[in-house]
Amino acid sequence: MRFLLLFALLMGNIALAGTSDKSNSHLSSNPPAAIEKTSVESDTEVEEFAEDAFEDEFADEFADNEFDEEFGDDTQEEIFDPLSGYNRVMTSFNNGLFDYVLDPFLIKGYNYIPEPARDSVYNFFENLYFPVSVVNNLFQLKFKNSGTETLRFVINSTLGILGLFDPAKSWFDLEVHQEDFGQTLGHYGVGSGFHIVLPFFGPSNLRDLSGDFLDFYVNPLYYVEARKYNLFKNNYQGWAAITYKEFNEISLHAEEYKSIRKDALDLYPFLRDLYEQNRNNLIKE
């Protein structure tokens, strides 16, 4: 639109200049200097008019609400990161831990275990996450998803041999609807708070970290003395299981992490933004 307007104004300028030259040829009483001055003033006025009109059109178009609707408010939202100095150091620590310890000494050896077996380990731990997921689906009033998660747990715990396999998805097309208390808090409008990077476990934020403490009391992998459905006899065994779970998951996504590092100009803000965007998307689902 604005290019058509500029083209029309330029054509008008040429037409006006031609008319001015034609009219000046009949005004023999005017000296050549006066004719030239009149022509220059006319050209200047038209150019100034064209420039003002173009700027007004440009400003009006980009002030339109459609621009905000297309890109959304997220483009204007900045991540609250008062711990950026610490977070950068911890990101470097985790990155070094991966490069110098996990990848060369542990992951490469562990990856001799066939990937299907490591997938079964992943499925086993994800199946045990059922109490946390179903409770938080109920908190968010997602009753259908709660029912689906219950069916998935029953099917995978029986036909899937204690959750080692996922027939609920492969045979019955029951999709995962996993929720945690961090998502529940976000669902009810609680902000993410400041971003924080944890040793070994990686990116998080204040809301999700607070949610993890609440999930702690529901997740059977953690040991809680007053609870009857503990899988382990003490906290050390529980934390060992959690650490193994995370390590197994890292082994499944090690190459993806290496690829991400190649694409990132600055690793810390890249991982931070990726984490926060992913969490926001999960909350909106």
Give dist(CA 124, CA 121) in Å, integer. Answer: 5
Separation between Cα atoms, residue 180 and residue 187, nearest integer Å: 11
Phi, psi at 195, each rounded to 5°: -80, 145
> For residue 58, what are the contacts with CB-CB under 8 A and spacing of at least 6?
2
What mean pLDDT, rounded, does the chain reach? Answer: 82
pLDDT band, very low/low/confident/very high, at 78 (cuts 50, 70, 90): confident
Segment 200-229 shows an average pLDDT of 93
Pick from 34-48, 97-111, 122-136, 145-159: least confident: 34-48
**What's at 96, amino acid-wise?**
G
pLDDT of 167 > 70? The answer is yes
Q: What percent of the chain has pLDDT over 90?
A: 69
Q: How far is the C-alpha of 54 from the C-alpha of 119, rounded, in Å?
A: 60
Specify the pLDDT at position 48.
53
Enumerate the β-bridge partners of residue 197. 203
Nearest-angstrom CA–CA distance, 140 and 108 = 41
**Given its phi and psi angles, is residue 79 left (phi above 0), alpha (psi -120 to 50 degrees) or beta?**
beta
| Residue of 184 and 56 predicted with greater confidence | 184
| Alpha-carbon span 82 to 110, nearest angstrom | 37
Q: Is the dihedral of CA 187, 190, 196, 201 positive or negative?
A: negative
Q: What is the pLDDT of residue 263?
A: 85
The token pair at 11 is 């054509």
pLDDT tens, residue by residue, 62-76: 344 443 444 444 434
Q: Categorize the per-residue pLDDT at 226 as very low, low, confident or very high, splitting at 50, 70 and 90.
A: confident
74 vs 273: CA distance, rounded Å:
11
Q: Determine the average pLDDT of the residues in 158-182.
A: 97
- Confidence band, pLDDT 50/70/90 cuts, at residue 52: low
Residues above pLDDT 70, as percent of the chain = 73
d(CA 10, CA 188): 56
Q: Say yes or no to pLDDT of 38 above 60.
A: no
pLDDT > 50? residue 285? yes
**DSSP characters over 231-274:** SSSSHHHHHHHHHHHHHHHHHHSHHHHHHHHHH-SSHHHHHHHH
CB contact at 8 A, 251 and 110: yes
